[in-house]
Chains A and B, each alone.
Chain A
């Protein structure tokens, strides 16, 4: 399974005086089982790009293939596609609308025409995955905390059992505890349930910890792409386009400058601690 973006261009307000190129010549293949982090400054085209993955946006030229099929060709079922490629928007909790948590989560599977029984089972599975306790199933979504609301909104997408889950800044505005809950939910979906993940994020620390590959967007184009280690090596270039490397990267580079023999490919704090314990021999107590 894969999503393949081919020579994609997207122009806002094409043919008017407000015409503006949103995406330029994007080529990208998302393979089964990947965890892709998409980073880029505000306005770099991240959200516009991911809204092509399930056919919400129509490219000005180029196309998107799902398992090799052109999703924009006549007769291709977008409804089917959207149940396989789940998209969680920014601040998805603003879209909660039903009277109870359970009903809200059922909305998606209802729309793709599953049986009553499947709808109910899927919704309950999704809520369980999202870590929502059973006592909350029948309360109004408006009663929940910020982090809980967001997990319910994500459950609404999970209830369609997507193969691909695309999340647009799912942790923005959450406290550190709520943020970690969402990230470990996503990590579990990737590792245990084999869901392919595309995570749009402004947190370099988060994508460093979880992503297997990073795609860096700048002014509507793919600036660089590679493993987190490869991408964050180019921190100077990242800084020029409004990004940075995780703090750990700068820390290890400074240790190296001090003359310590440490591996500067390391990008997460836990790895950094292990490396220092292994390589830096000072007297310990």
Chain B
């Protein structure tokens, strides 16, 4: 469980030799994330998404307010180690987070650091690699893998720690469409089968439609919080925050404006297809063959 009360993060910036000002990156966030939820965080560049993410595993500590991860106050340094074992981060650039020259050794890296017995390490590494579908590459060199595969190795390294939460900070931004799908499929499965909390930070709106809740951040605040069908119901609002709707939502919105009757919520192209399938069987006031 992740909970915050009036979470603030500020840093000082020198504007001249003897003058400085304060930049407030997080401006009083109140969040409450239950165990097992899939949360997406979207927002303009500089809105504070990554700063928030870095608080979730105590890479940064609040300068005001309080953040609790599994009941532990992140600003208490006695909690730092167990918070980091609980909450793993996957970053944007797949090449910057691989440390070993063999896949399975990379996945084992953190376990070695925290002193897990060797037998247990191999068992956990094997299980983690199997979970993300990378077991057959266990003895390969990571530099021969694709971007999506490297990110799945990074996820396996976190899984081996038996975390309760995985934070993906734009982990799909540098990937090709195939790689993006691999990563999203992997975290969706971890969420549904292993009930691991997923916090997905992304600029690809299509990736957020499977989440339980979406947080929209703007200038250090959470300005919208709700399920995808709620968030994407107001396209003009999203535009104001420098965002957009997934393409299926956009098409549905345009068609509604043309008078098409679309009563059910549309998030994906599959949803949109089912609207037209319904027309065929007479749902949605079909008047086939005639122009209206």
**A285 with B259, Cβ < 8 A, contacts A41-B176, A42-B174, A178-B45 known:** yes
**A281 with B45, Cβ < 8 A, contacts A258-B276, A273-B251 known:** no
Q: Are B174 and A176 in contact (CB under 8 A)?
A: no
Q: Are B273 and A282 in contact (CB under 8 A)?
A: no
Cβ of B287: which chain A residues have Cβ within 8 Å of it? 281-283
Cβ of B250: which chain A residues have Cβ within 8 Å of it? 269
Cβ of A176: which chain B residues have Cβ within 8 Å of it? 203, 205, 242-244
Cβ of A43: which chain B residues have Cβ within 8 Å of it? 146-147
Task: Tell me, in angstroms, the Cα distance from A272 to B177 when the chains sit together.
Answer: 21
Chain B interface residues toward A at CB < 8 A: 43-47, 92, 146-148, 170, 173-181, 203, 205-206, 239, 242-244, 247-248, 250-251, 254-255, 258-261, 269, 272-273, 276-277, 279-280, 284-292
Q: Are B273 and A251 in contact (CB under 8 A)?
A: yes
Chain A interface residues toward B at CB < 8 A: 40-43, 145-147, 169, 172-180, 202, 204-205, 239, 241-244, 246-248, 250-251, 254-255, 258-260, 269-270, 272-273, 276-277, 280-285
Can you give 26 A-B contacts (C-beta < 8 A)? A41-B176, A41-B178, A42-B148, A42-B179, A145-B44, A145-B46, A146-B46, A175-B44, A176-B203, A177-B244, A178-B44, A180-B244, A202-B176, A204-B177, A239-B178, A241-B178, A242-B176, A242-B177, A242-B178, A247-B247, A247-B248, A254-B276, A260-B276, A269-B247, A272-B251, A283-B285
Quick one: closest B residue to A270, CB to CB?
B254
Quick one: closest B residue to A284, CB to CB?
B259
Q: How many A-B residue pairs lie within 8 Å, measured between CB atoms? A: 142
B269: contacting residue among A178, A243, A251, CB under 8 A: A251
Cβ of B269: which chain A residues have Cβ within 8 Å of it? 247, 250-251, 254
Quick one: closest B residue to A251, CB to CB?
B269
Task: Tell me, in angstroms, the Cα distance from A8 to B138 when the chains sit together.
Answer: 35
Task: Tell me, in angstroms, the Cα distance from A247 to B287 when the chains sit together.
Answer: 27
Contacts beyond the supplied A176-B244, A281-B290: 8 A-B pairs with Cβ under 8 Å: A173-B170, A202-B174, A205-B247, A254-B276, A269-B247, A269-B254, A273-B258, A285-B261
Q: How far is the CB of A242 from chain B (nearest CB, A)?
A: 3
Residue from the set B45, B92, B272, B279 with the largest chain A CB neighbour count within 10 Å: B45
Q: How far is the CB of A45 from chain B (nearest CB, A)?
A: 13
**A282 with B255, Cβ < 8 A, contacts A145-B45, A146-B45 known:** no
Q: Are B203 and A42 in contact (CB under 8 A)?
A: no
Q: Are A172 and B173 in contact (CB under 8 A)?
A: yes
Cβ of A273: which chain B residues have Cβ within 8 Å of it? 251, 254-255, 258
A283: contacting residue among B46, B148, B176, B292, CB under 8 A: B292
Cβ of A248: which chain B residues have Cβ within 8 Å of it? 247, 251
Task: Tell me, in angstroms, the Cα distance from A238 to B280 when the chains sit together.
Answer: 31
Q: Are A244 and B146 in contact (CB under 8 A)?
A: no
Task: Tell me, in angstroms, the Cα distance from A178 to B248 when the chains sit together.
Answer: 21
Quick one: closest B residue to A248, CB to CB?
B247
Task: Tell me, in angstroms, the Cα distance from A255 to B239 when the chains sit together.
Answer: 29
**A42 with B176, Cβ < 8 A, contacts A248-B247, A269-B247, A283-B287 known:** yes
Task: Tell me, in angstroms, the Cα distance from A281 to B288 when the chains sit together.
Answer: 6
**A280 with B276, Cβ < 8 A, contacts A145-B46, A242-B177 known:** yes
Task: Tell me, in angstroms, the Cα distance from A272 to B179 when the chains sit together.
Answer: 27
Q: How far is the CB of A200 from chain B (nearest CB, A)?
A: 11
B147: contacting residue among A42, A178, A254, A260, CB under 8 A: A42
Task: Tell me, in angstroms, the Cα distance from A36 to B285 when the chains sit together.
Answer: 44
Q: Are B178 and A251 in contact (CB under 8 A)?
A: no
Among all A-B residue pairs, the 7 with the closest Cβ atoms: A284-B259, A177-B242, A242-B178, A146-B45, A283-B287, A42-B147, A176-B244
Cβ of B258: which chain A residues have Cβ within 8 Å of it? 273, 277, 284
Cβ of B242: which chain A residues have Cβ within 8 Å of it? 175-178
Q: Are B280 and A259 in contact (CB under 8 A)?
A: yes
Cβ of B92: which chain A residues have Cβ within 8 Å of it? 173
B261: contacting residue among A174, A177, A283, CB under 8 A: A283
